[in-house]
Each structure stands twice: as structure tokens, then as C-alpha cells.
Amino acid sequence: MRPTHEVTNQPPPRIGHDAYADDVVLREAVDREGAAWATPELHEVGRLVGDEAWLERGRWANEHPPQLVTHDRYGHRVDEVRYHPAYHELLGAGIAHGLAGRPWAEPRRGAHVARAAKYVLWPQVDSGTLCPMTMTYAVVPSLRHQPDLARRWEPLVTGDTYDPTAAPVERKRAALFGMSMTEKQGGSDVRANTTRAVPVDEGGPGGAYRLTGHKWFTSAPMNDAFLVLAKVGEVDAPSCFLVPRWLPDGERNVFVLQRLKDKLGDRSNASAEVEFVDTVGWLVGEEHRGVRVIMEMVAATRLDCVSGATGWLRHGTTQAAWHVAHRHAFGRRLAEQPLMRNVIADLALEAEAAITLAMRLARTFDATDDPHEQALRRLLTPVAKYWICKRAPAHAAEALECLGGNGYVEESGMPRLFRQSPLNGIWEGSGNVQCLDVMRAMQRSPESVEAVLAELEVTAGADARLDRAVDAVREDLGAADELAARRTVERLALSLQASLLLRSAPTGVAETFCAGRLGGDRGLAFGTLPTGVDTDGLLARALPALV
């Protein structure tokens, strides 16, 4: 070996660790929100996402993206997507650990919190496989609008088994679901959709229809069935249909994959344009009430948008912290240099606030019989989705920069994190859609406003900066000004995070958040925490190697 090839001053690979054991903030949140019983399996997931072999699978699945196969060798239309074997292994492992429908099959206090915690951990190995698990998890509340369909499908989507066989579900051990709503002319405006449905016989709830139309974005197109919006008759309000890939008689349903999207991120997962031509679907719920039905699914997927973005914040923080803990410059470790400590502490603060808010939101999904929790969920979901997803790209960019040129190289994994980071801000409603949803909740669900204010009242008087922010929130909630909606939602998110941290985090962490996010001299970029705050405490909670 030539002396010029000696490798020095490079951090060791971060492998062979338990990511859950290393995450004191997530562990505290899981215990606080009622899922301490899930600790053994959370450690299993933590070890999986820190295992070198599984991290390699995540890399393979992203470097070898899905391939569209429209016909078999004989010319028969098959409309299949073929994935790298690593994708199937990752998806199977995630489902085995309950990341799909388990909370519905085993309802207990903290079931959704436990799953959300696993969801926070999973992006450390791969994010693309989360998409089919999310939609399969989220479909159950919508399916229950049509009990006969729920009886048939729910047992197939709530187990811990993955069956990738392309076959009718009658011959399968498990199934995965997707959704197909948006069209090229409408996007979030599903009432502009043009897909039409005609009843086969009499129609009605649970009845068969034939659908014709084009869907612009259908993720995980190899899933076994999809909830699809289409219009019936001359009424503009869409209806919701269950469209399987295969029909009960063993024939393929008409589900024509036009092309796969060439996406910025989420490369391991496929997203397709789909054509329906007399495609058979079964009506879920009543005609013209499809938005109401599918919004049950959307609400649950938004929880996963929050949890996934939170996972990216945590992953970026960890990668940056690990690098600076082992890299030397100008005679000492980067982690010992004040400016870098400010940056890492600020990244860690953002991740801790996100974890705390995400786990609190997950608890509302467990408390189905508590009116306060359900009212809180109505407003908290779009607020958390807006803010945490908005913070993810800037956070990923700063974390990448901490690695310098090493972070800009694909092998580091940071470019994949950066490309992934805008996804959840777009998926299931962009930032403006979330803000408008908050405005609607303020106008139509006054009980949700009361629930949020009751949460904030718990910490009244604990910090003057938060008190001032809450006063501003009260004015915002009374005005419901659409032009200022983003400011309203941002202020509400920060106030909720501050209130939660004041209740649960060490004093230094909560005070640092109030100073850095609500104080008068707050900075705009990460790494601008004011002097005198508890950066040491934040760094100790972020990664033990830093101290």
C-alpha cells in the first residue's frame, strides 16, 4: 500500500448499532404516549435499521429502481412492476414488524404510537417501502364504510405477512392497498376529476361498477387493490371504489400502466400513470360521498407523512452528529468547535421537537373514544403535517453540509435523504392544502380549536415567550384569514411544540426551543441558537459520541 493511500481523519461507518437504544428522545416519547409495552420490538427495529446488511439492502433497492413490464414474452398484457429483491426483503421485514395494518388487528393503548415510532426509525434504512405500508395501514378506516368489503379485505391487510405474488387475493395470504385519486387536470382538486363509473347492475353501496379514466399518480402500482375516485352520472361529487388488480374469477382487471414516473426521490418505490377502461370496481359507501370516505384514508396517511419526515430529521441529525464527532479540523474535533456545536444542537432541537409533536399526534389515533383527543386530532394533523414536512428539506441540506464534500457524494447516503426530503410536504396535500384544511377546521369544527387551546393552556405562565406566542395564536384563530394562513399554522405548530417540550423535555431543551424558535433574537438558518442556551444538553441527547 502506497503511503499516499493511507486513510486518516475519516469517521468509521455507523453500523452495528441499535438506533432505538441511541434515541433517548424517541424512547421517552414512546413511554410517555402509552406504548412502553412495545419496547422489545422497537429495539428489534432499531437493530435492523442499524445493521450493515439491511443498510445495503436499502442502497440496492434505491440504486436499482423498479422496472415497468407491460407485456409478457408472448405478447399478453401483464402491466407489472418488477423490483430488486432487496425491495421485497425490506417490505417483508417492515410488514413483519407491524408497519402495515397491525394496529387495527391488535387494538390496544399505544398501538398507533408504537407503529409511528417504528415509522420514525425506518427511513434510516429506506423510505420507498414505507409508501405501500402506509396506504395499507390507512385504508382500513375507509374500508369500514362498506362492511361487506371490509369483511373480505381487512383480514388480508392487517396481518404481518407479505405476499408479493401477482395473483387474485383468493389465492394469497395477504394483500396490500393503494389509492388512485389525482388526475393530470386536477391534482388536489379531485372534484375536477373526469374518471367516470357506470353501475353494472343496480349499483349502490357494495355494488359493482365499470370505471373509465386516466389517473396521473398511483404509487405502488403492484399493490393488490386501490381506492379510486370516480364520478357517477351527472353529479360532480366523486364516489369511492375498491378496484382490485385481479377479479374474483381469476382474470386480470383492466389496470393499464402507461408509464412509471421518473421521480426526484423515493426511487425504490414505483409510481405510475394508470388507465382504466371498463375497469371493475365496487362502491365503498354511498354514491357521491367518495371524498368523505377516502378522507379517512388520507387522514391516516398524513400521520405517516409526519412520522416519515420526523424520521428524516432524526436520521439527518444522527449522520451529521456522527461525522463531526469523529472528524478533526484545525487541531480538534469538529464536535468541539463552538459554531459546529451550535449547528448540530439546532438540528437536534428540530428533531426533538418533531418527535415530541409526532408522537403526541399518534396518541390521538389511539384515543378513538375520547372527544378531546379526536377534536385535537382534527386540527393537529394538518398543523403537524405542514410544519414538520416544511422543515425537512432545509434540515436535510444543513445536515448534508456538516459532512462537507463527503455529504455531497452518493455513497454517504445524504443525497438520497436530501432528494427524499420534499416528498411528504407534497404527498397527501401540499403546504397550502394543509393550511386551507386548518382554516376549514377553524370554521367548521370549533371544538378542535377549543381542544388546541386547552392543550396550550396547560403550560400557561411557564414561559413568557410562549405566552406571547399563544396570545398571537388566539388572535389568528379568531380571524381565520386565508392570506395569512401559513403564518397562523407556523405559529400554532411552534407554540404546540414549545408547550409539549415544556411538559416533557429537560428544562434546558425546552428553554432553548423557546429562545431559538419564539424569542426576539431568533435566527433564520440552523446554527443560530442564541448564546447561553443548553447546547451541551441537546448534544448529549442527540448522540452519546458527541460528549
**536 belongs to a structural domain:** no
**79 belongs to a structural domain:** no
DSSP letter for 505, please. S
Q: Count of domains in the chain?
A: 2
What does the alpha-carbon distance between residue 294 and residue 271 come to, in Å, rounded to a whole number? 19
**137 belongs to a structural domain:** no
CA distances 469 to 305, 314, 461, Å, are 26, 26, 12
CB-count burial class (<10 Å; 0-12, 13-18, 19+) for 275: middle
Q: What is the mean pLDDT of the chain?
A: 95
Q: What's the confidence (pLDDT) of residue 479?
A: 79
Do residues 323 and 402 touch, judged by C-beta distance below 8 A?
yes
Summarised one tens digit per residue, pLDDT across range 456-488 is 999 999 999 999 999 999 998 887 789 999 999
Domain termination site, one of 227, 255, 289: 289
**Confidence label for 190 from pLDDT (cuts 50, 70 and 90):** confident
What does the alpha-carbon distance between residue 434 and residue 432 come to, in Å, rounded to a whole number? 5
What does the alpha-carbon distance between residue 464 and residue 345 come to, in Å, rounded to a whole number? 23
**506 belongs to a structural domain:** yes
Buried-exposed string 481-511: b where 16+ CB fall within 10 A, e elsewhere: eeeebbebbbbbbbbbbbbbbbebbbebbbb
What does the alpha-carbon distance between residue 187 and residue 236 come to, in Å, rounded to a whole number? 16
**57 belongs to a structural domain:** no
**221 belongs to a structural domain:** yes
DSSP letter for 205, please. T
* Predicted TM-score (pTM) of this structure: 0.96
Q: Residues 416-431: what's their mean pLDDT? A: 96
Buried-exposed string 466-478: b where 16+ CB fall within 10 A, e elsewhere: beebbeebeebbe
What does the alpha-carbon distance between residue 172 and residue 189 come to, in Å, rounded to a whole number? 35
- Structural domain containing residue 266: 166-289
Summarised one tens digit per residue, pLDDT across range 280-329 is 999 999 999 999 999 999 999 999 999 999 999 999 999 999 999 999 99
Residue 66, pLDDT > 70, answer: yes
**181 belongs to a structural domain:** yes
Q: What's the confidence (pLDDT) of residue 547?
A: 56
CA distances 431 to 115, 381, 423, 490, Å, are 25, 12, 11, 11
DSSP assignment of 449-501, as one string? HHHHHHHHHTTTTS-HHHHHHHHHHHHHHHH--GGGHHHHHHHHHHHHHHHHH
**499 belongs to a structural domain:** yes
Domain termination site, one of 239, 255, 289: 289
Q: What's the confidence (pLDDT) of residue 1?
A: 60
Secondary structure of residue 228 in the 3-state scheme: strand
Domain termination site, one of 289, 312, 341: 289
Residue 105, pLDDT > 80, answer: yes
CATH of the domain at 271: 2.40.110.20
List the grid coordinates of 209: 361498477
Could you give phi then psi for residue 108, rounded to 5 degrees? -160, 165
